[in-house]
A and B are shown apart, each in its own frame.
Chain A
Amino acid sequence: MENLVYVALFAPLISSLFAALFGMSPRQTFVGIVSSVLLFVSMLASLILAYHVYQTGMPIHVTMMEWISMGDLFIPFGFLVDQVSVTMMSVVTLVSTVVHVYSIGYMDHDKSFNRFFSYLSAFVFSMMVLVMSDNFAGLFIGWEGVGVCSWLLIGFWYHKPDQSREENPSISPSWAANEAFIVNRIADLGMLVGIFILYWNVGSLQYDEVFAALPNLSESILTAAALALFIGAMGKSAQFPLHTWLTDAMEGPTPVSALIHAATMVTAGVFLVIRANPLFSMTPEVSFFIAALGTFVAFFAASMALVNRDLKRIIAFSTLSQLGYMFAAAGLGAYWIALFHLGAHAFFKALLFLGAGNVMHAMHDELDIFKMGGLKKQMKWTYIYMGVASLALAGIPPLAGFFSKDAIIETAFNEGRLVLWAILVVTAGMTAFYSFRQVFLTFDGDERYKEFGIHPHEMYKFVLVALSPLALLAVAAGFFQGAFHDFVTRLLPEYEMSEHTHHLALILGAIVLVFAVGGIVLAYKKYAKGLRRDEKVENGFLYKLLANQYYIPHLYEEIISKPYKMISDLMWKNVDLKIVDATVDGIAKFLYKSGDGTRKMQTGNLSSYLNWMAIGGILLLVVAMLSAMLG
């Protein structure tokens, strides 16, 4: 079994290195095929491991080698395959394999085809390190690794020029990539501080040792550690106020958005909270903060999705919103439900994104849904896939999203957090509305694309086949709720609804369903017949506010980026050159000038020399007298 752990972990690395060998040569299809096969191997290994852990209930723990050892600090490369990590491994490898196969078709015409596979597999490797590591430092390796791969992949089309924010809200791929990296780094500092706190209070970074030592720590230390780690999670999972990078990250190729910015990397923050659940369950204030922030982000992101016109950005906002749901669950102590939603969300959101990729492929990279419509004729399968994924996202039974999201909303009610519950219910309605607004605007109604002279065509067959596992899981994952619960609660704390909630479960479910169906019906009425634009609404304050993301990107630009640039310039030109360096030069100049000045004494005139001599003699006399008088 131990060998399988290494197979699961290193197959993506080998795939990445293999593709990198051909990174600078022109497109070769076999690179994509080899990568996909290696990813498939990794997936098989993960699934076998999952089955093994399921059967035996015993985690597998391997230590490969020592990494850093200095003073009392000892960090090994250790890997832990337990119920939580194996779930993540299965989800990650499964989605990755599908995305790899998909990319063979999607990146078909791109000259950097090989390079793309190298990056994509490197990402999967980093993600596997992140989820499999048995200590916080190892987690951090993966954490930064996925950050870099995300930087590489968002900026994949680095040659595109910068545009103004009005033309392109994310300016350019390279700009968006840098933004993502830097914002994540801000959060990573929090994460590092969390690691430092744990190390100096526990003396180790191994999960088991840290969690075992937690009861001996004071409350303030626990709170500080939990908060610091959560700041790290906020960056990676793009929680408010560090959320702006995620929508800008849509500049990357669509398979990247599906894999990294929907299914896997952005859920790393949720994974961290689940992984460190012993810590978070001991700090109720931090946990409640997480839940409250999650709920807020769920609503906040959904509101921005309501009016957006960009196909991918709508899905990105919905990802943000669903991450909020996951944090709400994790913050309320229902860790297994959070993990369940994480898995289910990965499947249907990846499907949704890849479907959007099909649409983009057909529409020659057009993203504005106002310019689409009526695509269902040309793209039947994509329509079905996206429809199913949207239904799952909206939480319509019996699809996966229904089970997982309903459980989260129910948890909020069960915990007596009625405000959170109400917001989550309303958000569920909004989710249904914006996802079907998108579906109807894209696939139904009049064929607006004809005005732009676009001839859409369906995606390659093999791509559509490759998507089928995701579609299947998006439909069926919900039915495994019971089994999944039994599996992961061996490790994660059990969470059960109270008797009271249990009785009301049907009514609560019905309320959510009413909102969800209501959202879909509204979307159908408004958009299924075609696009009717309402100038009055579009010029309204609220619409503009939402369409501009509450002006937060502008705000960041004005209060952070520009002042930073300005202060930097000031520091260089005024402080460094005019004060620090000028002082040094000033001292040198003073020495030079004083030498230059005293040089004038050397007139060569004996008479003036004699005068100086007399002055010197008198001075010496005065000094002697003074010292005699004072001494």
Chain B
Amino acid sequence: MENILSVLVFFPAIAGLLGFVVNKESARVYGITVAAMEFFLSLWLWFAFDGNNAGMQFVEMIPMIPDFGVSYYLGVDGISLFIVLMSTLMTLIGMMSMNITKNIKNMVITLLFLEMTMVGVFLSLDAIIFYLFWELSLVPMLYIIGAWGGPLRIYASIKFFLYTFMGSLIMLVGMLFVAYIYHDLTGVWSFALTDWYALVLPVSYQLWLFAAFFIGFAIKVPMFPFHTWLPYAHGQAPTIGSVILAAVLLKMGTYGFVRFSLPMFPDASVIAITPIAIIAIIMIIYTAMVAYAQKDMKQVIAYSSVSHMGIIMLGIFAMNAEGIGGSVFQMLSHGIVSGALFMLVGVIYDRRHTKIMDEFGGLATVMPKYAVIFGIMLMASVGLPLTIGFVGEFLVLIGFYQVSPIMTILAGTSIIVGAVYMLSVYKKSFFGPITNEANKTLEDLDVKETMSLVPLVMIVVWLGVYPKPVLEPINNSVKAMLSFMDEKAITQEAKDMIKVAKSTQEIK
């Protein structure tokens, strides 16, 4: 199957179109079937993927607008492979756990379209195609929040849309400018990322372009102080929307940094290390404190997402394999853990129709299974060893320690402040006597919920104990990227900062 990537991208969309003729009652089953098939396709991709090959694989390239060098160009490497897998997995799991009765058919079709755009973003190697999927992903999410959301849904969805849209427009300007310079230097138009990588730009250009891409990605991540759309979006979105938003859409931003900013502008990236690290540390500590102050359980998880994305940002700018590889792994880990946590919040919301923690208390007594799974996800979220959360966080911190010990210690406080807000959520909701009558008769997890949460628990433990199958391809691709960046960097400072792993040097 040579066109596996195209199939992966368009299968959900075509299935989504066919979804219009499916009748209402079977829409959910139809959605799950399609998502499962898509997930197995991505598993197959993993199976066929050559872990030792650090470059792009399964490349497909069809010129679309040859005069301007725009082509349909897809490819996958160790960095994008697992994010794609995570996207298809979380869509499947989200679909399985979905508890929506209103307009279920529309929801299924929307989700399938969303899946196309997500997979498309992570697989495209042409800037225009990337941009296309990037912007298209906003539309289904806008619809999900706006149509199935809470009381403030219109405000939240429009804020989400306009905010991220504004950022990506600036990114588009940056992309057009890169293409223009490419045309200037080589005489041909190209939007292919692999062509762009070869472009060596003067530092001043790099800085401007880095800034343009930065705004696009930073709003998506979201980095402090561009994060305020997130709590609203999460607060108003239905559970499925939050799951996809936290698990996948946020990763587009950090993925963009790894895919575009670092290899294209190595010198500017090195200059940006300190400012970005400072922002990342603010994200980690500040949002953790804000999360601690929340009364709404879902808002805590939403702010904790920002805090964890800070760790990912820090790792990306560690400029060594430990840090960047750790960040990529942390993207997966955060996707799975925060997705699961949002689903868990959804479970209690479905039963009590409130997310305010003061309403709960003593849930562990009436809902033991729920408490156990929440506890495991909590521990993964605070980075307990042998869960998925530790591996990424540890690698990021150890990687950044080489850049700056002081900043690493400041960022390392995430293991403390993270524990503070997570444990306080757990204590408020699950421990203590049952004070609220409404909680006395709550049902524990039903089959549907258990079926969707248990696989996530298994992944959390599996990748915590044996992360090798995932780490190895990431490691190879990241190492290759770093040695490439090191070669390409113009300034000596950048060459000094970018640390090529010893094992790659030996191969050279």
What is A's interface to B at a CB cutoff of 8 Å? 23-24, 65-73, 137, 140-141, 144-145, 148, 155, 158-162, 172, 174-175, 178, 181-182, 185-186, 188-189, 192-193, 195-197, 199-200, 564-565, 567-569, 571-573, 575-576, 580-581, 583-584, 588
Contact A584 B163 (CB under 8 A): yes
Closest Cβ of chain B to A591, distance in Å, is 10
A568 x B409 contact (CB < 8 A):
no
Question: Is the pair B228, A148 in contact by a Cβ cutoff of 8 Å?
Answer: no
Are A182 and B420 in contact, CB atoms less than 8 angstroms apart?
A: yes
Complex partner residue of A71 from B320, B391, B405, B427, CB under 8 angstroms:
B320
Q: Does A200 lie within 8 Å of B402, measured CB to CB?
A: yes
B285 CB → nearest A CB, Å: 10
Q: A71-B475, A571-B290 are in contact. Are A160 and B433 (CB under 8 A)?
A: yes
Are A73 and B398 neighbours in the complex by a CB distance under 8 Å? yes
Contact with B415, one of A71, A188, A199, A564 (Cβ below 8 angstroms):
A188
Write the nearest CB–CB distance from A72 to chain B, whole angstroms: 5
Within 8 A of A (CB), among B294-337: 294, 320-322, 325-326, 329
Contacts of B329 in A (CB 8 A): 70
Are B391 and A196 interface neighbours, CB within 8 A? no
- Say yes or no: A145-B385 contact (C-beta < 8 A), given A73-B398, A178-B423, A568-B293: yes
Cα separation A161 to B412 with both chains bound (whole Å): 32
Choose from B228, B294, B384, B402 the contact partner of A584 (Cβ within 8 Å): B228
The 9 closest A-B pairs by CB, nearest first: A71-B321, A174-B431, A581-B228, A568-B293, A196-B401, A572-B293, A141-B385, A158-B431, A568-B289
Size bracket of the B interface:
35 or more
A71 near B432 with CB under 8 A, answer no
**18 pairs, CB–CB < 8 Å, chain A vs chain B:** A68-B395, A71-B320, A72-B502, A72-B503, A73-B398, A137-B394, A145-B385, A158-B364, A158-B430, A158-B432, A159-B433, A174-B431, A181-B419, A189-B415, A196-B408, A564-B289, A565-B293, A573-B293
Judge whether B292 is part of the interface by a CB distance below 8 angstroms. Answer: yes
Whole-angstrom CA separation of A193 from B402 in the bound complex:
11
Q: Which residues of A contact B289 (CB under 8 A)?
A: 564, 567-568, 571-572
Closest to A193 in B: B409
Chain B nearest CB, measured from A192 CB (Å): 6
Task: For A71, list chain B residues within 8 Å (CB).
Answer: 320-322, 325, 399, 475, 478-479, 499, 501, 503
Q: Given A148-B379, A185-B415, A567-B289, list of 14 further CB < 8 A pairs?
A: A24-B368, A67-B467, A69-B475, A70-B321, A70-B475, A70-B478, A145-B384, A159-B365, A159-B433, A161-B432, A172-B432, A189-B416, A572-B289, A580-B228
Determine whether the beta carbon of B501 is less than 8 Å from that of A72. Answer: yes
- Residues of chain B lying within 8 A (CB to CB) of residue A182: 416, 419-420, 423
- Given A175-B427, A178-B423, CB of A576 within 8 Å of CB of B228: yes
Distance of B170 from chain A, by nearest CB (Å)? 14
Inter-chain CA distance A394–B391, complex, in Å, is: 45
Contact with A along B468-480 (1 / 0, CB 8 A): 1001101100110
Contact indicator A189/B399 (Cβ below 8 Å): no
| In the complex, chain B residues 390-414 whose Cβ is within 8 Å of any chain A Cβ | 390-391, 394-395, 397-399, 401-402, 405, 408-409, 412-413
Question: Could you say which residues of chain A place their CB within 8 Å of the CB of B394?
Answer: 68, 137, 192
Closest Cβ of chain A to B203, distance in Å, is 26
Q: Are A144 and B384 in contact (CB-based, < 8 A)?
A: yes
Interface centre among B292, B385, B408 (most CB of A within 10 A): B385
Bound: A186/B427 CA distance, A: 19
B369 within 8 A of A: yes
Chain B, 44-60, contact with A by CB distance < 8 Å: what is the 0/1 string?
00000000000000000
CA distance A334 to B487 in the complex (A): 53
Quick check: is B37 within 8 A (CB to CB) of the other chain? Answer: no
CA distance A200 to B398 in the complex (A): 8
Chain A residues, CB < 8 A from B372: 23
User: Closest chain B residue to A157 by CB distance?
Assistant: B431
List residues 353-400 of chain B with CB under 8 A from any CB of chain A.
362, 364-365, 368-369, 372, 379, 382, 384-386, 390-391, 394-395, 397-399
Nearest-neighbor residue (CB-CB) of A567 within chain B: B289
Contacting pair B379 A185 (CB below 8 A): no
Which of B294, B365, B419, B431: most chain A Cβ within 10 A? B431
CA distance A565 to B419 in the complex (A): 14
Interface check B225, CB cutoff 8 A: yes
Return chain B residues, CB-CB under 8 Å to A185.
382, 415-416, 419
CB nearest neighbor in A for B432:
A161
Chain A residues, Cβ within 8 Å of B40? none
Q: CA of A70 to CA of B474 in the docked complex: distance in angstroms? A: 8
Q: Give bound CA distance, A195 to B409, whole Å.
A: 12
The answer to whether B424 has its CB under 8 Å from any CB of chain A is yes
For A151, give the chain B residue with the smallest CB separation.
B423
Determine whether B286 belongs to the interface, using a CB cutoff of 8 Å to chain A: yes
B466 at the interface (CB under 8 A from A): yes
For residue B162, CB closer than 8 A to chain A, the reply is yes
Q: Which of A69, A137, A155, A569 contacts B431 (CB 8 A)?
A: A155
Chain B residue numbers with a CB within 8 Å of A66 are 468
Interchain CB contact under 8 A, A192 and B162? no
Also in contact, A569 and B419, with CB within 8 A (given A144-B385, A189-B412, A580-B228): no
Smallest Cβ-Cβ distance to B329: which chain A residue = A70
Contacts of B321 in A (CB 8 A): 70-72
CA distance A189 to B405 in the complex (A): 12
Cα-based distance from A140 to B322 in the complex (angstroms): 18
How far apart are B321's CB and chain A's nearest CB, in angstroms? 3
Q: Which residues of B contact A573 (CB under 8 A)?
A: 293
The reply to whether A186 and B416 form a contact with Cβ atoms under 8 Å apart is yes
B408: which A residues are within 8 A, CB to CB? 193, 196
Task: Identify the closest chain A residue to B162 (Cβ).
Answer: A588
Residues of B within 8 A of A24 (CB): 368-369
Whether A189 pairs with B385 at a CB distance below 8 angstroms is no
Q: Are B423 and A189 in contact (CB under 8 A)?
A: no
Pair A159/B432 contact, Cβ less than 8 Å:
yes
Chain B: which residue is nearest A77 at the CB level?
A: B465
Chain A residue numbers with a CB within 8 Å of B501 are 71-72
Q: How far is the CA of A144 from the CA of B387 in the complex (A)?
A: 11
Are A148 and B384 within 8 A (Cβ)? yes
CA distance A581 to B159 in the complex (A): 11
User: How far in angstroms is the closest Cβ of chain A from B123?
Assistant: 24
Chain A residues lying within 8 Å of B466, measured Cβ to Cβ, are 65, 67
Chain B nearest CB: distance from A213 CB in Å?
A: 15
Q: How far is the CA of A155 from the CA of B431 in the complex (A)?
A: 9
Q: Is B379's CB under 8 angstroms from A73's CB?
A: no
Q: 0/1 per residue, B438-468, Cβ < 8 Å to A?
A: 0000000000000000000000000001111
B154 to chain A, nearest CB (A): 14
Complex alpha-carbon distance, A197 and B408, angstroms = 11
Residue of A nearest to B225 (CB): A580
Min CB–CB distance B210 → chain A (angstroms):
23
CA distance A67 to B385 in the complex (A): 11
Residue pair A572, B431 in contact (C-beta under 8 Å) = no
Q: Which residues of B contact A172 (CB under 8 A)?
A: 431-432
**Residue in B423, B432, B479 whose CB lies within 8 Å of A162:** B432
- Nearest CB of chain A from residue B187's CB, rounded to whole Å: 34
Chain A residues near B227: list those with CB within 8 A. Answer: 580
For A569, list chain B residues within 8 Å (CB).
293
Query: For the complex, what is the distance from the CA of A69 to the CA of B501, rounded to whole Å?
Result: 12
* B467→A68 contact, CB < 8 A: yes
Tell me the smallest distance from the CB of A376 to a CB of chain B, in Å.
37
Once the chains are docked, how many angstroms separate the CA of A175 from the CA of B426? 11
Knowing A70-B326, A144-B385, A159-B431, say if A572 contacts B398 (CB, 8 Å). Answer: no
Complex interface: chain B residues within 8 A of A72 (CB)? 321-322, 501-503
Asked if A68 and B471 sit within 8 Å, CB to CB, the answer is yes
User: Could you tell me the distance between the alpha carbons of A524 and B148 in the complex, rounded to whole angstroms?
Assistant: 74
User: When A140-B385, A144-B384 are in contact, do A70 and B395 touch as well, CB less than 8 Å?
Assistant: yes
A568 x B468 contact (CB < 8 A): no
Q: Is the CB of B362 within 8 A of A159?
A: yes
The chain B residue sitting closest to A566, CB to CB, is: B293
In Å, the complex CA distance between A178 and B409 comes to 22
